[in-house]
A = this chain, B = another copy of it.
């Protein structure tokens, strides 16, 4: 048993889709969340810059009493497949979104054709293909960067019938339809907000995998296996930290999550 918190980070509020799932699965766990809103987005930046930001994010979470670190950012999760972002970390339990989402996709696919959509940095890294091929070498993996999806979500253009959102979704998903994928990994924590539209374009036969939700399920399994869940009496607390202003963070939470997060938000400064 371990009453320390689960540390979670992302470049902004997107990773709260993972926090939501964590709280559903493990309502007693304390959670410390960091959104690096002063430097958002990560997905358009270079590997070296993402690497240095991620190390600072991890160091910040380790200033708190955390038993596990979850990288709820598709971009950092991809970069860490080839760069040692955890090299200075003392936290044993850690995971990004790539491995859990890749496993879920392999379990879901029937025709062995899996699509991956994500930021430019995520798709450039080929991270999902590497993990999927370790599990199932004969799967065809089709990747597509969707750089307009994050701005669309952040500005509230997420409705199924929103004209420009449909335009970009059709453009990005055309290859997925052509390649007849039956499983599509939403490799960025912003994308579940576009699920209805993506489903509408891909059709009912295609399974969407939310990388943030899969990470939360993986966290439950890992904590349970390591006998590190909190005591059954604990009432889970959520602490939120951001690097830009608290006001901006809560505005974005409201815009994205269409509700109040009901947790204290504090501004913090990361050391370069």
Q: Mark A15-50, 1 if CB is under 8 A from B, else 0.
A: 000000000000000000000011110001110110
Restricting to A239-258, which residues have a CB under 8 Å from any CB of B?
A: 243-245, 247-248
Residue numbers in B under 8 Å from A154 (CB-CB): 44, 147
How many chain copies does the complex carry?
Answer: 2
Q: How many residues of A contact B (CB 8 A)?
A: 28
Are B45 and A248 touching (Cβ within 8 A)?
yes
Structural contact, A48 and B245, CB atoms closer than 8 A: yes
A214-267 contacts to B (CB < 8 Å): 243-245, 247-248
Binds B, one of A70-78, A163-171, A181-189, A195-203: A163-171
CB neighbours (8 Å) of A38 from chain B are: 39, 45, 49
A271 at the interface (CB under 8 A from B): yes
- List residues of chain B with CB within 8 A of the CB of A37: 45
Chain B residues, CB < 8 A from A269? 272
The chain A residues found within 8 Å of chain B, CB to CB, are 37-40, 44-46, 48-49, 147-148, 151-152, 154-155, 157, 163-164, 167-168, 243-245, 247-248, 269, 271-272
Given contacts A148-B157, A148-B164, 10 further A-B contacts (CB under 8 A): A44-B154, A46-B244, A46-B248, A49-B244, A147-B151, A151-B151, A164-B167, A167-B167, A271-B272, A272-B272
